[in-house]
Copies of this chain bind each other. A is one copy, B any other.
Amino acid sequence: MKKKKFPVLYLGDTSLDTAASYLAGVMAHFEIGFDYVASDEAADRFLVDESEYRLIILSDYPAGCLESSQMERIEAWVRKGAGLLMIGGWESFQGSGGNYSGTLIEEILPVRMSRSDDRVNTSYPCLVVKREEHPILAELPFIKPPCIGGYNRVEAKGDARILLEVIRYRTRAQASACTFAEEGRDVLLAVGEHGRGRSAAFTSDAAPHWVGGFVDWGEERISCRFVQREVEVGAFYAAFFGNLIRWTGRL
């Protein structure tokens, strides 16, 4: 029997039992089919010519796990019309172990990476703010900005569109209340093109802890299940990642 062909290849986020249960649950919820490779597994079986995925997702899947020829295959797919989405984490972008700076994957993505650890782990509020209208953000209430917990600091390329920014605040306890002062802004979501394909960089994570309160965005809560693992998330969180995946992969 021929194996069913899925449009998405999702690599990383540790394992389907742990962090990957979030994005896997969201894709299952929206009935987006995908093949999955854990962060400590090789992708040989999937990164072959005949796969022709419409979207590759790299999320906490270190550059060291991809051979040069595999990056070249991804680049060729995107040039011909597939999508590439990188989602942040300690093993995404440069991170503490992502090490994508200077790779062919950086060439495809709409952002430039630091050569050294780019992680921003902060204990203070980081709000998600919209920079411009886009199908990925359609009908999402960014008028009430949600929080994230951390991200990779990257720089948008000149021809990229910055759709979301993160604003970092410092807090101060007063006698009876707290004050917030803006401390800086960074890119949270940038999109671009590479050949005929689309690329997107979301610099926070889809899973705890960096996802922060964003995972609970939306009063309506939905349960997303993939295989044995169920996650309960906010409906706007799910809608955002559903939109991001569908737009980038033209699904």
Query: Residues on A close to B: CB < 8 A?
Result: 18, 121-127, 129-130, 142-147, 149-150, 167, 170-173, 177-178, 180, 182, 208-209, 211-218, 221, 234, 236-237
Contact = CB atoms under 8 A, between A and B. Distances in A.
A100 to B, nearest CB: 20
A149 B18 contact: no
B167 A178 contact: yes
B144 A213 contact: no
5 closest A-B pairs by beta carbon, nearest first, are A208-B208, A208-B209, A123-B146, A123-B213, A123-B217
A216 B123 contact: yes
Given A122-B213, A208-B208, A217-B123, A170 B144 contact: yes
A182 B171 CA distance: 13
A76 to B, nearest CB: 37
Contact of A213 (B124, B177, B215, B218): B124
Contacts of A217: 123
12 contacts: A121-B221, A121-B234, A123-B214, A124-B146, A143-B172, A144-B170, A144-B173, A149-B212, A167-B178, A177-B182, A209-B209, A212-B213
Given A122-B213, A209-B209, A149 B146 contact: no
Given A123-B237, A209-B211, 12 more contacts: A121-B221, A121-B234, A122-B213, A123-B147, A123-B218, A125-B125, A129-B178, A145-B178, A149-B213, A149-B216, A167-B177, A209-B209
